[in-house]
């Protein structure tokens, strides 16, 4: 079957077919969707986001003669999100490619003997989309440009950026540099989580309702809270429905989102240290307004491209995707972190 693919099938981010099959599917991937982060999909190089200071104590008793402003002006500052060129390329010998695509195509109801149109290419886009979504999720959290592992050096991710912000005094509250297993045992788990709720800046504490916030935790912390609720007999009453119907726990009314595979990657890929951390423990907490965080890509522009072709000389099928990605948060006062 591979021999029939004799030309290059190319797609760019502006093509409707690419958007429907790849871009929208990626954005709706459960791992990314449950985060609730903003996804800006039209950044080719960088994009500036502006933020203003919050007005406070601006109302005074009226006077007979106007003396000017009753408060100082609103400070406007900016945050620049830059995206980095990413590339994914796969090559596959004809026989295994033929077997795998044949099987997947049958499940989709495709006519595997009729390659007219873009059915096979569409199927490959879906496969690529799932893989890129998994990679984007992993890199958004764990990337650190100072590392030597090329799987994580494209740009600085959530953990590295948040810790840097806390150390720079941008308003990000860092409760603890590390969270031990003792901190999350059945005796201490509720007290530990309460420390993060109590540490909220007044902006995060009072400007957002509990259900507008998210407490992102790695799997050991999520499981510890789940076990505690089970012991207390109120597990079901402590659940809430989130995006894509994912049932998750809540703490003090705040949805608690399990970061799932992130803890595994920390333990598997970092022998002596993990990004922006002083230990190999995978216990981490981020309490925040999810819309404060932005994932940037160029997936809806011409700079994104996907190509699929069969090379007769090598007897191989090739797939290549080029796109850009990056991460930034807007306001440090809306972040409370610990464990890194």
Residue 9 has pLDDT above 70, yes or no: no
Label residue 7 by pLDDT band (50, 70, 90).
very low
Residue 12 has pLDDT above 60, yes or no: yes
Does residue 55 surpass a pLDDT of 60?
no
- Point out which residues pair with 172 in neighbouring strands: none
The CA distance from 179 to 266, in Å, is 14
Reported for 189-194, long-range contacts at CB under 8 A and 24+ positions apart, including other chains, are 189/221, 189/224, 189/225, 189/228, 190/228, 193/221, 193/225, 193/251, 193/252, 193/285, 194/252
- Other beta carbons within 10 Å of 112: 16
Return the pLDDT at 2: 34
Percentage of the chain exceeding pLDDT 90: 40
Evaluate whether 134 touches 32 at the Cβ level (below 8 Å).
no
pLDDT of residue 3: 35
pLDDT at 110: 60
Task: Report residue 29 CA to chain centroid gap.
Answer: 11
pLDDT over 90 at 52, yes or no: no
- What does the pLDDT look like over 86-130, one tens digit per residue? 887 777 665 655 666 666 666 666 655 443 445 666 676 777 777
Residue 244 has pLDDT above 50, yes or no: yes
Q: What is the DSSP letter of 53?
A: P
Three-class SS state of 217: strand
One DSSP character per residue, 68-94 reads S-SSPPPPEEEEEEE-EEEEEEEEEEH
* pLDDT exceeds cutoff 70 at 242: no
Residue 309: predicted pLDDT:
74
| Residue of 191 and 315 predicted with greater confidence | 191
For 260-279, what is the mean pLDDT? 72
Which pLDDT does position 4 carry in this prediction?
36
Terminal alpha carbon distance of the chain: 50
How much is the average pLDDT of 223-233?
Answer: 92
pLDDT of residue 236: 67
Strands 214-217 and 254-258, sheet pairing? parallel
> How wide is the angle at C-alpha 50 spanned by C-alphas 47 and 56, nearest 5°?
165
Mean pLDDT of 244-270: 86
Mean per-residue pLDDT, 175-204 = 96
pLDDT value for 217? 97
Q: Where are the alpha helices (DSSP H) in the chain?
A: 16-18, 24-27, 30-33, 94-108, 119-142, 158-168, 189-198, 202-207, 219-232, 261-269
Residue 187 pLDDT level (bands cut at 50, 70, 90): very high
Residue 338: strand pairing partners: 176, 285
pLDDT in tens, 293-338: 999 988 778 788 877 776 777 777 677 888 899 999 999 999 999 9
The rounded mean pLDDT for the chain is 80
């Amino acid at each position: 079957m591979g021999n029939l693919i004799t030309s290059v099938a190319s797609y760019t981010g502006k093509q409707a077919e690419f958007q429907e099959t790849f871009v929208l599917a990626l954005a709706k991937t459960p791992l990314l969707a449950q985060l609730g982060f903003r996804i800006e999909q039209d950044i080719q190089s960088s994009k500036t986001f502006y933020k203003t200071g919050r007005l406070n104590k601006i109302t005074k008793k009226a006077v007979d003669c106007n003396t000017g402003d009753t408060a100082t002006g609103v400070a406007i500052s900016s945050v620049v999100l830059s995206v980095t060129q990413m590339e994914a390329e796969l090559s596959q010998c004809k026989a295994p490619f033929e077997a795998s695509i044949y099987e997947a195509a049958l499940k989709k109801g495709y006519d595997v003997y009729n390659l007219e149109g873009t059915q096979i290419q569409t199927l490959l886009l879906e496969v690529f989309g799932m893989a890129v979504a998994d990679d984007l999720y992993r890199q958004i959290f764990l990337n650190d440009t100072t590392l030597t592992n090329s799987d994580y050096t494209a740009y600085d991710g959530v953990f590295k950026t948040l810790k840097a912000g806390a150390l720079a005094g941008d308003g990000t509250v860092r409760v603890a540099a590390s969270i031990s297993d003792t901190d999350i045992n059945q005796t201490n788990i509720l007290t530990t989580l309460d420390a993060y709720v109590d540490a909220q800046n007044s902006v995060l504490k009072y400007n957002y309702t509990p259900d507008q916030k998210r407490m992102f935790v790695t799997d050991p912390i999520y499981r510890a809270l789940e076990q505690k609720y089970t012991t207390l007999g109120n597990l079901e009453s402590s659940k809430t429905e989130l995006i894509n119907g994912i049932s998750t726990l809540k703490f003090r009314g705040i949805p608690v989102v399990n970061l799932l595979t992130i803890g595994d990657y920390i333990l598997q890929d970092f022998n002596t240290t993990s990004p922006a951390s002083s230990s190999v423990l995978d216990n981490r907490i981020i309490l925040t307004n999810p819309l404060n965080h932005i994932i940037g890509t160029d997936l809806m522009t011409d700079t994104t491209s996907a190509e699929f072709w069969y090379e007769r000389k090598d007897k191989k099928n090739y797939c290549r995707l080029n796109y850009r990605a990056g991460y930034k948060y807007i306001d440090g006062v809306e972040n409370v972190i610990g464990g890194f």
